[in-house]
Structure 1
């Protein structure tokens, strides 16, 4: 068997760990380490999550390969080091309190999206992390270390923060009515993001004439708002008179945040041919893209080299970005249409990576889009006030400007008829000028997808009814040009006539499809909903299967008992007295025991479902009763006495020394809830032990005055408690001493792997997908055990070894009923009370050879005919009309009770019966029957196969497909009649079985008297 310990692991990271000089660290050489530390290192090496072990008082670190990227330049020095030194920058503020809490109270902590400032790439970096600290306790019950995970969520948090800035820019700039308001809105858009925009300085361009007359004539003494207003007017006049903006040479301050106004020049001349700042501004204006500026560059102006701290962090700003504002880039390769630029400082604790650059470009594009709307609005307002007589000329000039824009611009009248759209608009839409609107909506309403059409309707009501400017997002249907749908952000405002009536609606659209890609994360929520639905359907199928299987056995046993009694009554000569022979009595007794067993199985499932319903409705309460805990355990064993006897499982009760040491007699506890947990755990133990070679279940009872979770013996087996309040003992609990009762159900069953144990104690969950197929169950028992244990102030856990068994432990809180008198304690420590003593077998506990044979027959890997009365030398052609009244049946069924009951019923119906426990055994048997090609004269006769669907090793659907393949390949002499006998009763499941190759489907429960005619009919049909 391969080993996976870290000392045998050949991965590069494991080799690196082994290469560390551990003897020079606080924890010493590996050969001196406790086994628990070795196990934790094995765990983190298998963990795909970045994780580490912090061991000892010095918290010496050992971490996995995923942690290396998170550690950055702290690796490899961090390996074998202490985080108190390596993470000194955040230790006292962040991690020291968590470690203290873990050491003093043993509490595990989890933190989501925690902002940290780590020095791991040569500078103090802002990161966001989801991390956990789980205390590890040793044999002395003290915390010996911590299990630590760290998953970085920086990208998600930064994206959320920067996207909000993009939204703020659009919200503020979208309502600006003129350039003065626009520049105020620009700065307000950046105001809230103090981290990614430590400061922002906005400059607007003006023409040479304005610069000569105003820039150097005492403009420093004017107010900042007055300067912005004049510059805006000059820009608008420049656009109105010439249709384009002159080459920008001088610019004036439009506003600043994050720096004192006195530290920033009011006037700049960027036409100077200098390297550094001036060249960066020119490059940004001409390219239309943000350009990074090195603050430390020798040509950078002194007013940008200030060592003043940013708005969020203490470090001085090392880099800035110059963002141009170009309302249009059409036919403008030199940036002639730029209206200004914004210099923003960059976050000193984040690198200017691709993501940061992408957002600065989006901010710049949003500013340009909003500027285009403002320019358009301002131009039109001035046109109406000052140039009414030249309406046609101004419309031409506007159209020229709009046609140059890469922003889709449009104008519609109040009825929704399109008046004007620029080239970009027609590239987006499939409408023509003059197209009428639909029921008062704009002409392009049909281009909007159905899911965003209500958004358009609401926005149109605001524009036409309330006459309020608005921004809204809509999705456009694919056009003949684009072939795909696109998202646009539409900014629209109403144009009013002199009398206040609505004259037209103006707007522009910006393509925001790239932003919508981020919303695909919402699909994950849908997947979660679908998974919950799948679990619910799986639970319904499982419960149906578990209820129908025993119900079928009950129906058949009851039918058999009734038939036996009726036959005995009919054969009796005395009508008032019925003689039943010994064999008939044994059959009736066995049938009634089977009925009781199946009824108990159904009762457990029903109880689980009812308990779950009460837990969900919070109607389940704890009712204290004075009981003897040991007697409650004995009662649980008595309930399973017959089932243990049938499965040959030995049971024992062991009283721990701690129980006698506290002289516990009677306590106040809820015996029904305690019994329900014990019954569920005992039922599971029997189910997973009954097929093992060694079959032993031991229940251990102990007690303590402190919570067992705080008295760990080195095994981390108690599962964390759900977020519930600690139960409070009321007056009905009396005033006796508080104590904790411990219970352990240990079995020698199949055991569990660490991966399987993670799936336990969850709703509708079992250890693995094969658990229900192989052993049955609803997936609710352990979840209910966990809930009931916690309801009684306790917890539950498990430790297990695959192939050797499992140990389920739980504890509950109780009170002494009364102070017991001093008594002489019986010597029952570590002594077993074997439940088999209460129900000895007929042979005094010794199995006869016949008993052993019966046990071997019930083993899933064993197959043997139950009826050997036929003679192989006189083998008829089974299934022929001459042999139609003699049915040779193969039952393929993994449920041993159903298998046995069905075989007995068919034998009573004069059938020759064989059994198989799964599909693989059935195929092996089929190769030796008269259906097999070249089987010879001594082949086993076979008429028909009755096959279950849910089976281990090979299920019924796989088996029938293999049989039909054999028929096509010529391995069989003729078609094999196969009837599916299953508890899967949904129409989809029945259809699936028929499509797989089943000739007919019979759902449980059923009567043999109903099944046999179906068998004859099918055989006759195939024979002819």
Structure 2
């Protein structure tokens, strides 16, 4: 047992530290030379779990156990082996008489809640603390006192809590009688005046609009301090000439003093802790009354805004100077919050009708009585029989659970709320104090009660109880079969100062724990979402940079390297391919954004499925010709048998999936000896499970989507249209098929080789198929190609159906004319001429085009491209210049014919300085209406903003059509001709009927 004689195994860390301490440098000397009595005392106190300290010899050399470390703070380990007069010099004058009385006179002394100003935290200074301790002599072998044993416990928390609770109770006692704000402010200031230890000073300000001279008036609703004045209602603890106590100031305009601090507190609606010199000038701190907070200068203060009542602004502000000898810790903050909360309740009651006010006062009295019940029991001791009966009746009807135990923990009384909270009945309850405690928390709860049984104070502690089916809080199913309880034990002393009973209050804090759990889960979700967003941005940047790099390098090859025509065409073809790829990435991201925000809408119409397939193949025709890829379309007999040659579905969304799948097929087929793509079209009455090639479909991500609820879908029978894209490409291995499954389930940041895909296509295809009530799947083997199959839910067209022509969301489609070059790309030369011998009208007449674009580079590129195609191009930098040009054109009625400039169409950008596109088109249509312009001017908007609402806005303002960037010049010219043809037929004379078209 005596580890001071020889080192024993398995000693605790503190025992080892104690033995290794440099005792030789102290007046006690090495441990082996210690007197037997000192070693015995050291062994005894180090085995004690409670704080114990020995002051040995005439110098009172301190030796203490491990439990003292938390109380000594920074004084450990310097105090170990040091004279008490040096280690505790700031309190030695108070403690020395007690030590001397025990050592020199052999008399023990017991002190309860003794105040000491201890410097145990160097960064804070002297700290107001309270201690209960017993100082007794240590008798040596010769019968004389050789030292002192100090058995101590810190009671700072309980003393401060009782002192602060007294202020709250006083305020609560008197605040219920307040009939006006003036009376309430006086009660508040009086309560603060009496607390000279926690309140160094106080300034109370109210905000204009709270109370009029005629009585009570509700505050004006306001969320920010605009045009408000603060008026000083009263002060505590300062002299009349205190400079900081300004009688009135503007809360919204002043930039010094209390105004900016009050505004900050206003916005946060929480107490604002600041150094005192931030609120009061340093030279003004001397104005604080010397009888408060031990006469020490105030170092910090807190500004408390009185929260707004329902729909009202801040009522006022309370500035509290804090005790310089106490840190603004959780307990101090709780005191301030309770003070504000109590004031808030009183403010609310003042503004309630008289009947409601009285009812609330009674309810608050009851609630406050619950909190003060333990103090009432402590003060009254043994109640008389009648009082005990009254108490028992009240406790049985009280909604708060509590129980009374003997000092050893044996239960004396438990109210009904206690049994309800633990989920047990009185009959089935055990005699112990650990009803329904969760098995994992049982050791901890038993340890807390062991401390109580040993006479030690215990802070409120939390633990779990098993949840029963009768639980009043059973809605918290996420807590996995248990509830959280907060136990607050408060001991009661008998007439001799010994612990007599323990009153324990219990609160169900499951809601609080559940909120903490939700906050943790929300934080994890936010972190995961942030990580996913970062990965998506990385993927997008990577995908965009790759084609842009190839574009720049190809452009450099054209500009810097002497190249023949074939090299130039190769570079230009690369640029076109990369631009197409960047365009697809942009479209994929826009589509994904619409899906994530549930903005993707279907626009059904009468559609021939074979036409959709043909359109998808036409879009890729030039690319397939370039690589020598054959394409075939197989139409199953089921379309004829089931009468599904014409059905109702969203053509654009199906086309988008087909474009993705055919692009993917071209990518993996173009380098193979056999290059062929087969598109198969079939229909079903029942939902397909496997197609003819046994292609498995990806399971649905969520419930099946019923998208055909509107009248625009008609009344035909539901059918399923299936599309299959089969290629003779390289096929996929097992690992690659697993990667494909990931693409179907989530957007992956992987970049496909040679810029042929953005990594989003498969994911978007799956989402589009499911959006239309279908599914998608794939089957593949190495060297045998790949088959992608998807189906959608459509509706058969019946003869009597009337399908509304609702606006169809447009997609970017590449158009191919018969006179296109074989590679499908614009050539930087004049258009080819028809070689037929029979003379005919020019199929491509020269157009006179006005390009209105503020970006000089875009303006030059577009103008040059149009001129290469044989058209006459004029340019303007903004809408104002466009109007000037229009007045000199053939559309102007006031200009002489000899000076007129030919004009066919205007290409008008939307975002420009001086006059933007919308303002310009509005002015053009006004000139048409007034007759200044003789006929309808064809105007096509050219914009990079492809949002539907932006396109609709342009059309409403008078545009004939909308073309979204990027686009091919060939496709732009085709669109111009379509608009001009419509104008010739008179269809666009009323431009409001124009349909948005994206090239």
TM-score by length of 2: 0.35
TM-score by length of 1: 0.34
Q: Which has the larger radius of gyration?
A: 2
Bigger RCO of structures 1 and 2 (CA < 8 A, at least 6 apart):
1
